[in-house]
Structure 1
Amino acid sequence: MAIRVTSEHDLIIEGGGMKIIDGRFGQPLYPSSPSTNHIVLLPENFLVSGTEQRISRRDFLSVLANVTRVMVRASYSTEPSAVYRLHSFSMQVANPSARGERRASAVEMCSCPPGYAGTSCEACIPGFRRVNGNLYNGVCEACHCHGHATQCHEVTGHCLDCSHHTTGPHCDTCLPGYYGNATRGSPADCQPCTCPLNLPSNNFSPTCHLGEEGELLCDQCQPGYTGPRCDRCSNGYYGKPVVPGGSCQPCDCHGNLDLSIPGSCDPSTGQCLRCRQGYGGAACDSCADGYYGDAITAKNCQPCQCHTNGSVYEVCNKETGQCPCKENVVGRQCDECMPNCWWDAERQECMPCHCSPHGSISQRCDVEGRCICRPGFVGRRCDLRRQGYERRETRRPVERVPIDTVQQRWGGPSRTGGCPRGAYRPKTGPLTHGITTGGQCVPCHCNSFGSKSFDCDETGQCRCQPGVTGPKCDRCSRGFFNFQEGGCTPCQCSHVGNNCDANTGQCICPPNAIGERCDRCAPNHWGHDITTGCKECGCSVIGSVTQQCNVNTGCCLCRDSFRGEKCNECQIGYRDFPQCTQCECNVSGSDSETCDMERGVCACADRTGKCSCKANVEGHNCGLL
């Protein structure tokens, strides 16, 4: 007698986000008899759980493609006397890679279109990828790898394992060290760089590319190499890079070549041909004529600067810098007269002072050849006695001061209103009948150090020595200093208009000029002038690299995004000073008159950043045709 079974489904399968049940209800069971049930996995044998509707073929295959749980009925009856058990459960699964002789049944074999594979066309063949990742309605799209890869990423489409020396998301560029057009689709698209030879010993650039006309261009030549294929030695190097095993080596010129001139050394032999200024010799290992210093270690060859008037010729000793001096001239540059000598501008030579050993304080004289006299002596060489001092006889006639000379200089009647020598009669009223009216004679009081004589004119003005001024000749004129017997010494300050301190002779610098001779501008100033001094640089704090400008032109050194004499403007390709934000103009679409083609940038409007476009080009950045 059969056992009554409950009306439940024997099999439940979950997968693909769905739950399906078999379409049959409880099968009869007999005591002590095994019962085997078979369920064929076909859409018509299953229902959708919850709706009890027939499942479609599409949904059915979606469940089977991703089964997450299978539930088999274990309780078939509610009768207490019924004892039963589930002995086993099996589910046939087809394996396309299995090699057994038993063939799976109920497996459909679809005829797939190009790019698809699998018994149900559920997969893509190599070289294709499923675009949206869905099993159904998923499209197998060809990988865009230009024939250099067989697989690509399922999501991004990027090619995997590019071959033929290619790289990039779509194997569309050549690897570093190779050149060519990888998009042509052949194994020979990318060829090794030959810079200049396809040999490790003669390949002097790690990268290369094709030029506009399809020619090979090596773009990272090593130091010492140049040319489109690194096939020549740079200036300052020599060798044969196009010969297997050959290379370019630095010319042995002690680093003293003039590299600004092409061919400074022979590119084949390495012979030094053009040393930089100030250096000479076959190997540029010495200072050139007219220069001195250390050409090898310190590399400080500098001009001799021999003084034209003081030197025999203008070539100095190459080691010490000593110039060959004329007679009575000393100094490394032959720019000073020997002690006890002075510069005679008319003769253009240094002349001995020849100061009188008895009448002068020392054998030195000033820049005009005047000796410094003892009290009672006058004259250029202090060899004359002043009137009013006792003349002392000497046994050496050569040193005797002649009486007639003294009288010629200091003696004779006065012509200042009938007053004696050394006095004058001040004018107090009009002249009548040639007779002077007024007061008595008044002493001139001429300063004995600064005046040429005791006499003065009818106004009381004394006759002053050169460089001395004042009614009584008692102070130095402008441009002179050190008032003493014999007059004043000229300031050595021609560079500042002969303006110096009347006591010390220290040059008085004009505004913003510094240095002992006031010959330099103070920091952050330029344009030295002996009268007006120096002007402030005024470099922009934001736009300039430093506050110091060129001392000759006043131009400031600007940062990359700034320009102008004071770096107070934005460079072409930047806007809104002082921020100077970079413009983003498309160079190809912008008006060429607004562009700096050499730098590859174009100007744009302040505030808006809008670029000036060519005709028929639009867009904020001139990038739309």
Structure 2
Amino acid sequence: MADIDECAEGRARCAHRCVNTLGSFTCACNPGFELGADGKQCYRIEMEIVDSCQEDNGGCSHRCEHTAVGPHCSCHDGYELSSDGKACTDLDECETGESCCSQFCINYVGSYECTCRAGFHPSADGCGCDDVDECRLENGNCDHICVNSLGSYECACKEGYQLGANRRSCNVCLDNTFGNDCSLSCEDCMNGGRCNSENSGCVCSPGWTGIICNETCSQGTYGDGCAGICMCQNGGSCDPITGLCHCPPGVQGPFCEDACQRNRFGQGCAHTCNCHNGALCDHVTGTCTCTPGWRGATCQEECENGRYGAGCRQNCSCHHGDCDQHSGKCLCHSGWTGDRCDAACPENRYGKDCALLCACGKGQCDPRTGSCTCPPGQTGPGCQQECLPGKYGPSCSLDCSCQHNGTCDRFTGCCHCPAGFYGHSCEHGLLTRAFTASSPPGCASGHFGERCQRWCDCGGAPCDPATGKCLCPPGKTGDKCDIGCRSDQYGPDCSLRCQCASKSQCNPYNGKCVCPAMWMGPTCKEVREVIGRLTETLGKSCLKRSLSPLETATFKPWALTAALLDAVSGEVVPKGFELHEKFGQQIEKAKELRREPNIPCEFFLHLRWIVRNR
């Protein structure tokens, strides 16, 4: 059976510490306390406090500190506590590596000391070693030159002397030797150099220097003894013998003072540039820097369309025009103006930069060509001429259909019929026997019946001489010719049917149609040209979609028709449409139409619905 650890499970309830045993447990108390009779509680032991270090320093060799469990010993610096915890023995810092010495370490009882190698002395911190500069003290006992080194030094002699056996004294060179340590002779002179008269050194040729003439003149000098001063400019190098300048690519002249002439480049300016169209040629490499509008290695390629400027790196921003490849300035097409050619010509202006004045009177001026689209009834270059007989409508472009010498209204095309004719085109005869001023044969005016004794009751209209039935004139019907024609009838006894489109008015006398605004033609079924232009220009985007089923179901076409017709006539603006000015006024302005005025697409969708369903 496994033992249960009452201490771990917290069942022991000891006041201080719990010690588990096999099959049981015991409670223990902290120092200074003793276990109570219940074996669990701990009680403080009341006793006199005695300093454990007072007698014989607690047995410690160096320092003693009294604690509740007895004396605690410690040692001075340079010592360490022995295994008995009381005695102190010397600590060898040199052996343990605890010293700070950079070179040598000497251990003492309770301490240590740092020392240095020859040529060094201890530094101020007592740990490091600093170099001793032997040359500072009496030049290191050297005759000529003392050269200090780290931890040491050495002596050297001037040219023409050599170091003596003691490595400090200097002796003059003998037996035609010279140079450092007398190691050179006249045979060592190089590059045409020769010995001097004393055989104590080399005399160098122009452009050379050094003890044995093995070094060229330093930069900027030339000639005998390298005494000449070079005058080369712009990075030119000087010939060490003659002093002549060797120029780098791109410059020329005795002193390399001049750049290559125009269209020349390279070493000695010997190459010809191949740059075109005003490009700059680099006088060093021959690379071309193109002027604005050109590109390519030789600047012979024009900027591609839509790009301009130096290297053709800039994008043009011309909407309706061409971009100058050099400056990026927009060259507007006819009919457009503005810095970006994004503004249409203002009213009555046309042509390039809108510089020309229109001469169309009340007509509409094409902003590109200046050609006039005349209003109904007018024609000619400036819309100053009336339509010729037989023509009507905008720019007099429509043919009249009037017959029997009827005259055509030059604005609407409506026919004004001569006496005796009626109808849309005056195609019907009007004065029949029933409507002559005289009475029918057999009876006097206003009489009928046997012996013409009865009076006609026709409101002044004639009646049949036999039956007395009224023969109603055009526009009248009924038994007594006292009833006007219905809106869709006209002519004698209202016997003819009008051909006018819905919502137009039919003349009950001759059937001529009186068209509402926006409609024209003999039967008022032709949309005015201005509406055609409107749908052609603005309908490109608007008329791409149709009314949805919901729009069709909720659309009140004829209610809108009245508002639309009023709007076209310029009297009112339909409710809910926010326009900059009255819609009717905008329609009359071709420029405004071409510039797509702020008229909602729904307006034109409704207009198309009306046109298609009329």
TM-score, normalised to structure 1, is: 0.29
Name the one with the larger helix percent. Answer: 2
Greater Rg over alpha carbons, structure: 2
TM-score, with structure 2 as normaliser? 0.29
